[in-house]
Structure 1
Amino acid sequence: MKCHIKCGRISPNVFKQYQNCRPASWICPFCLLQELPGDVNISPDPGKINNYWDKLPFPFGFSNDDLSTTDTTGDTTLEGMEDYDFTAFNSKGLHHIHINIRSLPPKIEELRFLATKTNATTISVTETWLDHSVTDNEIHIDGYNLFRKDRNREGGGVCIYTHINRAVTRREDLEVDDMETVWVDVLLPRSKPITVGTCYRPPKSNPKLFIEHLENSTNMVCSTNELIILGDMNINTMKDSYLTRFYKSFISNNGLLSIINEVTRISKNSISCIEHILCKSNFKVRQSGIFQIGISDHFMVYCTRKKAVESINFHNTVHIRSLKKYDVKLYISKLQDIDWSSRIYNCCEVNIAWSNLKKILIDIVDTIAPQKQIRLKHKSQSWLNSDILMNIKLRDTLLKKNRSIRFQKTGLN
């Protein structure tokens, strides 16, 4: 097991002995619990001496029962992760979600899983850590269009995924060069457009300048449009400070409402609410809340617009030919029944002869192999097997337990 010398409580001499033969890059499982070693027994036998889980620095009261997982042997699809409660996204309406992902490329498969389960209209992502070297195809999600604004591979950047069933236009007129935002208009049949903004404020940036730019963009939105702003503002609304009061003043002065008032991040020594969702009118919001998943150290936040609307191209479909009734002898027989002389051989114009031939062949094929429409289903990558899915679930179980303990230590629970 590869780990830090303090995490594993091993001597410097032993650490040096295996340091030379370990891989160049690795993640300490004691620190991040994101790369579980292959020799770890997920359901450890208490009688074994070589029990790695007993060596983990779990707090008092944390038992191996909390590590129990559902057997997903043989299940190589994302359906193996059924312990997550996605019932909130079963309600009718338009779902909008946001997550600070802290580097998108290595976590794109989990984001695709979330997109499949939530069927969100928009997925706002901050801290994408992208630049021009990462193509759209690398971070593509089936059934979604991508709009992005990058910084570099070391931090920052935002993007928004919009469902292909919705007509969307990008609002570059609302975007400022020195501000990490992406704005789009979601166009709905027989309804007002929804302007959706994805924002990220770096911790060391000028908060007043950020709020001023955000206010200018908000004022440029058409008064008849609905407005939803999602993002990581790095402004802790649970803490009373001058910055928090200034930010809340901007919200109230522009007729906005902040609908996320729960803890969205639990660090080692603090808790905070820095992921926000702002909307112009609260009466059209059916629900809102947080969703704990271990993609990053930030919680996912979401909201659902009340009214269900008519979808555009609701399902992805293709047309294929059904070969159930296809018979070679029948095909040849129908060809032999055609009067080729009058329709092809005696035709003086080559274009007319070609049109006749094409129509004859298509009519025969449509008879013995008719067209039918089928729906395309989203499938996970072949390498995303049951072991990886089980480790993802285990990671999130441990992370949720750890966050709960940190929250209790603050004395606010």
Structure 2
Amino acid sequence: MCQKPVAKNHRAVMCDRPECQQWVHIKCGNITPEEYEELKSACDSPSKKTVWFCSVCENINLLTSLDISADSFPTDNSFSVLSESDMSEEDDFDPDHELNLSSDSCSSHSTGTKSSEDHTSPQRRPKFRKLRLLNVNCRSIKSKRKQHDLQAVIEQEDPDIICGTESHIDSNYFTSEIFPDTHEIFRKDRNRFGGGVFIGVKKDLLAMQEENMDTDCEAIWVKILFAGKQPLYVGCFYRPTDRDPIPLTKLDEAVKKLTGKSALPNIILTGDFNTPDIDWENGTIVTGENKPQYGRHLNQTMIDLANDNMLSQVQRIPTRGENILDLVFTTIPDQIRKVETAPGMSDHDAVAVQLDTTVKYARKKPRKVYLYKKGNMDGIRDEMEQYKDSFLQSNPTDNDVETNWTSFKTELFHLMDKHIPQKQISSWQDVPWMNMTIKRQIRKKKRIWKKAKRNGSEKNWKDFREIRKVIKSSMKRAYEEYIRSILDNDNTMIESKKKFWKFINSQKKDSGGIPTLKTEGGLATTSASKADVLNRQYQSVFTEEDTASFPDKGPSPYPAMPNIIFTTEGIEKLLGNLNPQKACGPDLIPIRVIRETAKQIAPILQIIFTQSYDTSTLPNDWLSANIVAIFKKRK
């Protein structure tokens, strides 16, 4: 959020909430110029209802006054007194960067100071925004060049949901080696020579595949859940270029599983339908020389499918030449805010759809990481030596094991925070090799494409083709440099090895974690609920032994085990041999710090270990474990 005062000529909105009443620049509030104009028009028309989200208090506003006048504009706000000289907001406004809330946009702090949390990520997605869907004809995504094209389209449109047709991949291709890690991908492959559809849903959203709607056609369905709202069913369909009506008949069977219910569900069906000779304005078949292209029966089947299932076709812009091939059907046409085309990745334009459904993203909190290379380990060792002496002199055996362990762990964390710098890192996921130069080129390409579509100038189309070549070349070069930086590093160094194998493993995995689980009591969506479901499942398959009666085996033929003695020297040796690259356990104590301070903490741990053994008690941290579910492919 920025600290600039809101001037009279700035485009800004004020929150109507009594506890907030802050003015926010539209750029900082994630309000596009188009939305701002709609709000202005709604002010002039009292019957028109419009809502917007305040990025300061994160509440919904039902219309507000947008006219900034010297008489009505309040000056007791967090942006200080109005300044006529500060006109930079208008000068800095970038219409192609309207969804980018940077850390130096508007501030909600009344003190006017910036918090350190504003700088955890160079680019952060807003917490609320309208749902965006993108339909794209891929015409194969097997090659690296086409995969780069897909990543460029995603960067260009930033869709919440992406529907793709003609992927041309099969089970030999891992999802992770093709698609970016920002989306959960649901695939229905045909073969590597043709066909194939997929739906990608941002991992911030809760989605699950509707396998019961699978029929013998190239279509895939996903159900997206929203808190307090009806679910949204998204389908992606591809029809081959022939006269066979069976794929449409099978699609109709799938759609009727939803529309045949008592209440009409929220549906969006998109894809490449290859029916160019239907006039969707009138719902009729275009006839004439060599028309309809695929026969009257197939085109009528398509029209009947839409009418019988109460689907409205809201996409009326040609996507290939003068033909409308990529369609968008929905049962909620009144919630479709905008439909427009965009540069695609084949001879088809992409179709971008914006819904009035507002999405709240479940952002993960930034986590703290220690910068060990900049840490003062000598300082930690010196102060831990002092703590060791005071600990040994305080008669630790008079305390229980839990108290001694908690005291030790608290002191260790205190010294880490004191002597090791930290930083907050967010969970923002991005393509590591896509730099800002490429992102600017992608935005420029879309501007040139819009200009060429608008006036049809050959010069503009030539400029578009040229910048498209430049982007492909830039992306290829950036990717190759990124790979070279991994392979050319000295792989004898531990950090270089980790970077190398992290990249290799990322290209091999085919599961992005545990999906939503169905249970008898409903859906398990959170990490805790998924862990509980899996834990109950694991318990159910184990045999419960009869512990009440054990068979008598007689005296043991082996000598009795001597008492275990914990020595300071032995503990120090074991701690010094720990691998610092291993992850810490549930106690969150870094292995690197344990190894660096092995000599100082060994006497403390010797007392705790001995006390635990003698009293047969364990600290709570030692009773916990990190358990990871490993995906097992179906046979």
After TM superposition, the score normalised by the length of structure 1 is 0.65
CA distance in 2, matches of 1:113, 1:343: 64
Larger Rg: 2
Q: How does 1:145-294 map to 2 (within 5 A)?
A: 145-176=184-215, 178-204=216-242, 206-207=244-245, 209-221=246-258, 223=263, 225-236=265-276, 237-238=278-279, 240=286, 241=292, 242=296, 243-266=298-321, 271-293=322-344
Q: Which amino acid aligns with 2:312?
A: L
Q: How does 1:330-369 map to 2 (within 5 A)?
A: 330-338=379-387, 339-341=390-392, 346=397, 357-369=408-420
- 1:321 to partner: Cα distance: 2.6
Kindly indicate whether residue 140 of structure 2 is the aligned counterpart of residue 103 of structure 1: yes
- 1:105 to partner: Cα distance: 2.8
Kindly indicate whether residue 336 of structure 2 is the aligned counterpart of residue 303 of structure 1: no
Query: CA 1:369 to 1:333, structure 2 compared with 1: closer, same or farther past 3 Å?
Result: same
| Residue aligning to 1:130 | 169
CA distance in 2, matches of 1:205, 1:343: 88
Q: Is the 8 A contact 1:167 1:186 kept in 2?
A: yes
Question: Please, which of 421, 424, 428 is the counterpart of residue 373 of structure 1?
Answer: 424
| Residue aligning to 1:36 | none
| Residue range with higher mean Cα deviation, 144-153 or 387-396 | 387-396
| Residue range with higher mean Cα deviation, 193-202 or 90-99 | 90-99
CA distance in 2, matches of 1:398, 1:283: 28
- 1:383 to partner: Cα distance: 8.3
SS of residue paired to 2:269: strand
Per-residue CA distance 1:314-342 (angstroms, 9 max, x = gap):
x5844313679954454234313322315
| Residue aligning to 1:319 | 368
CA distance in 1, matches of 2:199, 2:395: 56
- Unpaired runs of 5+ residues, structure 2, are 1-93, 101-125, 280-284, 287-291, 459-635
SS of residue paired to 2:424: strand
CA-based RMSD: 4.0
Query: CA 1:303 to 1:394, structure 2 compared with 1: closer, same or farther past 3 Å?
Result: closer
CA distance in 2, matches of 1:114, 1:247: 29
| Residue range with higher mean Cα deviation, 387-396 or 193-202 | 387-396
Q: Is the 8 A contact 1:102 1:126 kept in 2?
A: yes
Q: Is the 8 A contact 1:96 1:303 kept in 2?
A: yes
CA distance in 1, matches of 2:449, 2:355: 32
What percentage of aligned pairs have identical amino acids? 22
- Unpaired runs of 5+ residues, structure 1, are 1-82, 407-413
Q: Is the 8 A contact 1:234 1:274 kept in 2?
A: yes
- 1:297 to partner: Cα distance: 0.3
Q: Which amino acid aligns with 1:235?
A: T
- 1:212 to partner: Cα distance: 2.2
- Relative contact order (C-alpha < 8 Å, sep 6+): which is higher? 1
- 1:400 to partner: Cα distance: 9.3
Per-residue CA distance 1:31-77 (angstroms, 9 max, x = gap):
xxxxxxxxxxxxxxxxxxxxxxxxxxxxxxxxxxxxxxxxxxxxxxx
- 1:344 to partner: Cα distance: 8.9
SS of residue paired to 2:360: coil
SS of residue paired to 2:357: coil
CA distance in 1, matches of 2:441, 2:155: 18
- 1:103 to partner: Cα distance: 0.4
